[in-house]
Each structure stands twice: as C-alpha cells, then as structure tokens.
C-alpha cells in the first residue's frame, strides 16, 4: 500500500483548538464572572488572562499561535474546530464549560488549549503542559491518552528549543490538575499548554514575536501528528 502524502497525514481527523481567554473579557465583568459548571464544582465563566509587562495580552498570543497551528493542521488534512472565532475588544468568552465540551460535540480526536502563564515568581520562565487526572466520573476515561498527549507535546516543545518551566513542581514540564473546567468536561484527550511565562522578559520576547509564535505552532503541529500516528 502506498504511503499517504504529507498533506493527507491527518485526513479524517478532527482537532479542537482552544485559544485561551478573549481580548475583550475585561470589558464584560458580569459575563465572565458568573459561575459555570467546571467538573463537580463551579468556576467563573472566564478570566481576563495575563499579559507581558509591556501589555501584550495572553489572549492575543494564544490567538496568533492558534491561527498558525490551524493552518498547519489543515494543510495536513485535518478538520480544525476553534472554540472562539475572533480576538476582539468587543467580544467575551466563551465560558470554560463551553470550551470543555467543545471536543465532545464534534467527536474530536483531541483538543489543545493554548495559553501563556503570568507568574511573578523571581526568575520564573519556561513552558509546562497540563493534563487531567484519573478522577471519576469526570476524566478517568481520558486520563491515560491525555497524559500521553501531554508527554508528546512536552517532548516536541523541547525538540523545538523551548525550555521546561523552572517554577512548576516536579520540574519535568508536566502538571496534573483537577481544577480546570476546560479539561474536566472533556470526553476526548486534552491538554492545556502554558507556552511560557509572559512576565519573564526572555519568554515574553519569544512569545510576542512572529518567529516565536511560528515555533510554537510548529512544535504543537508535530505533537498532534505524532500523537495521532
């Protein structure tokens, strides 16, 4: 049997990309602060996200990387579903429950949520990949594949010359968390990528540059292709 061409590598696959936050969230406090289901508890619908010390927003970073990643995945034949369709001061959300359920509604093969961190710890820098725990009845069914996706994503980021976070417990660039509705409500393998610390000067320089955003997209596209085999 002939091997598929590169452009067909992800043919038939459905991938959900969740660009964290929304640029206009700060303009809609009532909407983003209302409680929504988050996997056995409630959390605020959304937050404003963080920003660099120079004011470059996490929402814009996540949007730009997501757009670049979407193009790469579609070029490989995938159907890509976005949880938000704009990056606008006049928009808010969607809420974390909507983001969490997005992959389920499309019977997606996986979901990646793209973020930037805002740690103020001295010297804090680097990326980490968050995956859900083995917690019934919420994420016990996706724990193992999500952990595998997290490990592959970490490895591809390292191979693309990104450094693992030096401020997360364990120090291996992986973080298991049960408090995130975006992960808890998913029935498909999912991870959240904190691509770097936007408050760190070095990370911020990479995260705000077109070249850096292209590197993130390249690493995440490799992770998706590797995970889906």
Q: Is 70 exceeded by the pLDDT of residue 4?
A: no
In a domain, 107, yes or no: yes
Choosing from 58, 74, 176, 194, which is the catalytic residue?
194
The whole-model pTM stands at 0.96
In a domain, 45, yes or no: yes
In a domain, 1, yes or no: no
Domain holding 33, by residue range, is 6-228
Split into its structural domains, the chain has a count of: 1
DSSP assigned state of 193? E
In a domain, 103, yes or no: yes
pLDDT by residue (tens digit) across 172-210? 999 999 999 999 999 999 999 999 999 999 999 999 999
In a domain, 31, yes or no: yes
Largest CA distance in the chain: 57
pLDDT by residue (tens digit) across 100-137? 999 999 999 999 999 999 999 999 999 999 999 999 99
In a domain, 160, yes or no: yes
In a domain, 27, yes or no: yes
Give residue 2's pLDDT.
42
Tell me whether residue 194 is one of the annotated catalytic residues. yes
**What CATH number has the domain bearing residue 145?**
3.40.630.40
In a domain, 12, yes or no: yes
Instruction: List, as one string, the DSSP characters of 52-106.
Output: -TT--BHHHHHHHHHHHHHHHHHHTT-EEEES-S---TT-----HHHHHHHHHHT
């Amino acid at each position: 049997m002939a091997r598929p061409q590169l452009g067909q590598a992800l043919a038939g696959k459905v991938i959900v990309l969740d660009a964290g936050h929304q640029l206009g969230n700060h303009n809609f406090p009532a909407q983003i602060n209302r409680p929504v289901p988050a996997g056995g508890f409630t959390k605020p619908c959304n937050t404003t996200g963080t920003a660099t010390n120079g004011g470059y927003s996490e929402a814009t970073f996540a949007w730009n990387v997501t757009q670049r990643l979407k193009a790469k995945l579609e070029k490989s034949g995938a159907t890509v579903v976005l949880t938000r369709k704009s990056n606008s001061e006049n928009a808010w959300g969607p809420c974390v429950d909507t983001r969490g359920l997005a992959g389920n509604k499309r019977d997606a093969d996986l979901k990646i949520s793209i973020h930037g961190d805002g740690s103020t710890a001295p010297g804090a820098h680097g990326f980490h990949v968050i995956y859900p725990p083995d917690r019934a009845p919420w994420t016990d069914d996706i724990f193992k594949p999500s952990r595998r996706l997290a490990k592959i994503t970490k490895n591809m980021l390292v191979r693309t010359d990104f450094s693992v976070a030096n401020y997360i417990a364990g120090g291996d660039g992986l973080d298991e968390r049960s408090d995130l509705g975006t992960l808890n409500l998913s029935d498909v393998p999912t991870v959240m990528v904190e691509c770097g610390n936007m408050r760190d000067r070095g990370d911020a320089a990479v995260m705000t540059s077109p070249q850096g955003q292209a590197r993130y997209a390249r690493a995440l596209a490799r992770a998706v292709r590797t995970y889906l085999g």
